[in-house]
Structure 1
């Protein structure tokens, strides 16, 4: 299993159901992470959906520090000639910038710091894993990774390539990654944990880029383990001497 960190100052992972106001998920959806990894390897748009389907590629995400939401108003200018010709009779602002509310994700806290996510990835194709490991180690990315939009560039840090054990827990476990709600049977709340829920998050595409699967997730704001009983598979591995238990998105 390959582990790497993603850090950056701003992120925007647009909620697919938002319209005039561009709302953002708290963390990158699985489809966004697939696109990020595919871009590192040099896949073009719409070429990788089958290759990175949930059946072939397992991805988990851990929040390493709390984040907060920030609303900014940005100017969008329509520059596509075909779109301009189509919309100019119905949109009054087609020739001028349109002011759109944009929700951004940034690190929580008074001191300026970076958003920090940790990614765990396993693919059934050993050769693809070798190529990805080599590119992450050497930092030779075919396309630069970003947090959603292209202007929110990411610093990617290679953590390691570790052995992971996949298992089906019979009792309660402490999960550090985000957890699909569909897997959760029971949750045991504990003091000093702040557990949130993110709903309707894209998880898989069909080959024509239409949604194939959506999930809702629970997570602890700073990645602390949540004590749960789940119905499904989990994984465990060691990172810097610490055992991490996680579930896949």
Structure 2
């Protein structure tokens, strides 16, 4: 399997949990659908045009937490636009409100991508290698502009491996294997959107274990890929 890996980082990230329209809690790392959107933005795909490219049968994604997850609160200015979008419609008292939202500070992740479409893989590698993007990448919302960098100057060619008592450097899908809890590590679990259908609605979710400081997670046995110095589970 061919894999391209790149780092992406920003001062702040806000991956809002979409349980309700008013949720201000952030996921600790970008969901699979968010990663697909970041890649599509780098390549210049129009909105809603790339979902078939990132389906379960033709793509694999992996993610490594590089910087520890640090949560902070920042107030967001919300505007009541029910009466219109003109400035005169929203200037009156009571039509603006501040909502505290949870952001991730100093967010940095390593993303691993494998697509069945080799032409798109080559386009992605070229864009990362030349540090070019059609649309400006951001971490969740457009106020959180992001930078990115190709990890190694090559496309990795790897095969899956199976090993017992293996340290995994990426986030771990819940069904990958049994975790061996280690002293001094801080674990979390989160469920996030995985795949979109053509109607831009979530067709399935994935649940993950992660280590909040970016440390490895030991599994009793699992299938993984060795990419550089990292042991990665692709999902």
TM band (smaller chain): 0.7 to 0.9
The question of 1:149 aligning with 2:141 is answered yes
Q: Which runs of 5+ in 1 are unaligned?
A: 86-92, 107-113
Distance in 2 between the 1:11 and 1:163 partners? 28
Distance in 2 between the 1:219 and 1:135 partners? 29
Question: What is the 5 A alignment of 1:12-91?
Answer: 12-79=14-81, 83-84=82-83
Distance in 2 between the 1:95 and 1:49 partners? 40
2:233 aligned residue: 247
The answer to whether the Cα contact below 8 Å between 2:17 and 2:23 also exists between their aligned partners in 1 is: no
TM-score, normalised with respect to structure 2? 0.88
The question of 1:203 aligning with 2:194 is answered yes
Distance in 2 between the 1:49 and 1:104 partners? 27
1:158 is displaced (CA, Å) by 1.3
Instruction: Evaluate the alpha carbon distance shift between residue 21 and residue 36 of structure 1 in structure 2; reply closer, same or farther with a 3 A threshold.
Output: same
Distance in 2 between the 1:212 and 1:229 partners? 30
Instruction: Evaluate the alpha carbon distance shift between residue 162 and residue 172 of structure 1 in structure 2; reply closer, same or farther with a 3 A threshold.
Output: farther
Name the SS for the 2:13 alignment partner: coil
Instruction: Evaluate the alpha carbon distance shift between residue 224 and residue 202 of structure 1 in structure 2; reply closer, same or farther with a 3 A threshold.
Output: same
1:110 aligned residue: none
1:192 is displaced (CA, Å) by 2.6
The answer to whether the Cα contact below 8 Å between 1:84 and 1:94 also exists between their aligned partners in 2 is: no
Which of 201, 206, 224 pairs up with 2:215?
224
1:163 is displaced (CA, Å) by 2.4
Distance in 1 between the 2:41 and 2:139 partners? 13
Summarize deviations over 1:157-195 as a string: whole Å, max 9, x none. 1112342423252533211100011223x2112233222
Distance in 2 between the 1:227 and 1:32 partners? 26
Q: Which runs of 5+ in 2 are unaligned?
A: 85-91
Distance in 1 between the 2:217 and 2:157 partners? 20
Name the Cα RMSD after superposition: 2.0
Name the SS for the 2:53 alignment partner: coil
2:184 aligned residue: 192
Provide the aligned length of Structure 1 versus Structure 2. 225
2:156 aligned residue: 163
2:89 aligned residue: none
TM-score, normalised with respect to structure 1? 0.83
Name the SS for the 1:16 alignment partner: coil
1:230 is displaced (CA, Å) by 4.9
Distance in 2 between the 1:21 and 1:100 partners? 10
2:132 aligned residue: 140
